[in-house]
Structure 1
């Protein structure tokens, strides 16, 4: 039998036209939304579109990724239509229309005030922002308590154990843009898990696994958080991003071991996420911040 988009009735295809109508509106951050059946990596594809001049707010969704990447080029694979695999293009390095909110009653006026570019040193908050936006959206839309593992994992609880159900990868594209890739296991079954520590929303008891409303919820939340962050000139405290991330971060308060390049390790208690988005670890020699780019693995201390 030939496989088709409809061969697994528990995993229907996304409705691209309906998603586009709901998401790409005159007053929205999102300017384009495309769904492809399969690709190697939505991040790579969207980065190529960005280099060709794609506008901020482009969204690329794949029903299946054959070469999905996580941090440090780790592979991310899952069966077709078992999750949400998408990337968004943001251009924090360009001026943008100022808007306190985005809604039908308060459309963005292209001739109105313009926000200045966000300072580059604050762009490191974008993957953490995406984590906050995704976790809060899934908690509401799927009814699954979703926590964050610094710097880029989405955690759910299955049988009393925290497991990874998603991840985030942010990559610079050009001088002004960032592509953020988000992967979420939605309907992955136990027999399909790539590793025992993985999970899905379904395994965590989600109220529903219809991917269309889940994607809309995540994109709405991401637009709201990005608007607030840009309105605060990228300041994580003024936009309440830093406080919200800390409140939802399962890493804080735990004993951790950061494996650093060159075989070095830093062990201690994760006590804070600082103003630059770095994890602060308190050890025998005092507190030390580590950035995501400096950590090969972050593991619980035994």
Structure 2
């Protein structure tokens, strides 16, 4: 079943001048992995780059090598993270739709390891996360009430002293 899933995810068709794109995990270590990343480009171009980002201070721009025909690609070592990938034809600045490495077919799971859950907007926050935000809001409200009480008391005393 897993093998079939990898075959289905192994190639994604992108929009615009971009055709098929894919990623294959070549080797996998605890902290890093080697991935073979490729994309087909419909028109002839001087160069293609891949923008990889995790969204958290880890953005990379990697120049792809021409592999013949309309295919561009590279084999590179990366930290073991599910990067978001956007391909770009340099010059006209045409960009592909963003896709993740796992959507392109890369596997980031070591044998015997539970598959990593992909973060997304549809995922509900955990119960401990909700309690943490509630505690933070309660603390902020308490500090605000304390500040009003302390500052409000000083204004009343100051005004009462001036009237006498």
| TM-score (structure 2 length as normaliser) | 0.29
- Higher RCO by CA contacts (8 Å cutoff, separation 6 or greater): 2
Query: Which has the higher Rg, Structure 1 or Structure 2?
Result: 2
Higher-strand-fraction structure:
2
| TM-score (structure 1 length as normaliser) | 0.19
